[in-house]
Amino acid sequence: MTNVSIIIVTWNSEEYIQNCLDSIDKSYEIILVDNDSKDSTLKKVKKFPYVKIIKNATNAGLSKATNQGAEIATHDYLLLLNPDVILKKDTIEKLCSFMDSHKDTAICGPQFFYPNGKLQPSCRELPNFKNLFFEALGLGRGWKMRYFDHKTTREVEQIMASCLLIRKTIFNQVGGMNERYPIFMNDVALCYDVKEKGYKAYFCADTNVIHYHGASTRKMGRKKIIEWHWSMYRYLKDHSSNTFLRTLYGTLLFSSATLRVLFSLLFSWIGVLFSRTKKA
């Protein structure tokens, strides 16, 4: 049971962190890295005296904070866990058992459910121009793996890092989380690096977690739109030598981000005007 170090990165996570920590057996090594939360996150964490806390003076980003936690982790497995996830009692044990019996596997993750009980997709293909094209056209073999029902255990290319178990030796071997991706696409880059080393990633359907999904990133507002699109472009730039397709898709990403920000601003203004009219 104690062969796992759990790494949780928080940023203004006061609504979720207590339930998350309540769901973890205190016999595990729990390392919490806080990215300069301004709410009561740390106050709630201090109710759990066995949690090791690293407090950053600024928001260092998810990737760097995860690497900070990994540096002081003492066990063979690292569980990367979002503060808006609630574990089931057997989640960690089953993931570790799977890894123990699959020595060629570096990463595995559980089945995810939304709080309302609806199944939450958590696996994707590593993005490339082909599967992104199929995704844009709504075809079956797209990047988001809409063809997979997430009900059977199978090898996949990418596991969502909201709850991801990885061997510490391999995490160190690939250099940890790539800090060029501070918030988005870091799990994609990690899975890519692991696959390049010849290891496998598996989705494990026999255990599951509850995930509120996007609890922290929603607080980023429109910056989330810009950061996600920029991270996707950076990933494609880092992993493709096709200048033409990279430029074409980069233009599409820039256009998409611009339109989404403009629509967000428009709806915000409409909401303000409606509110003022209602008060009047």
- Condensed to tens digits (0 to 9), the pLDDT of residues 60-88 reads 999 999 999 999 999 999 999 999 999 99
Q: What φ, ψ does residue 230 adopt, rounded to 5°?
A: -65, -40
Average pLDDT over residues 183-202: 96
Whether residues 275 and 159 fall in one domain: no
Note the pLDDT of residue 222. 79
Note the pLDDT of residue 62. 96
CB 187 within 8 A of CB 158: yes
> 154: domain CATH number?
3.90.550.10
Residue 277 CB: number of other CB atoms within 10 A? 8
Q: Report residue 272's pLDDT band, with 50, 70 and 90 as the boundaries.
A: low
User: Taking CA 184 as the corner, what is the angle to CA 83 and CA 140, rounded to the nearest 5 degrees?
Assistant: 105
pLDDT tens-digit profile of 93-136?
999 999 999 999 999 999 999 999 999 999 999 999 999 988 88
Whether residues 62 and 149 fall in one domain: yes
Whether residues 202 and 264 fall in one domain: no
| Widest CA span in the chain | 67
Domain coverage including residue 87: 4-215
Whether residues 226 and 208 fall in one domain: no
Average pLDDT over residues 214-224: 74
Q: Which two three-digit tokens encode residue 189?
A: 């880059």
Number of domains forming the structure of the chain: 2
The number of angstroms, rounded, from the C-alpha of 183 to the middle of its chain's C-alpha atoms is: 8
Q: Give the whole-number percent of the chain exceeding pLDDT 70.
A: 94
Q: Is the pLDDT of residue 1 over 90?
A: no
Note the pLDDT of residue 226. 87
Distance from C-alpha of 7 to C-alpha of 117, rounded to nearest angstrom: 25
CB 37 within 8 A of CB 10: yes
If you average pLDDT over every residue of the chain, what do you get? 91
CB 129 within 8 A of CB 235: no
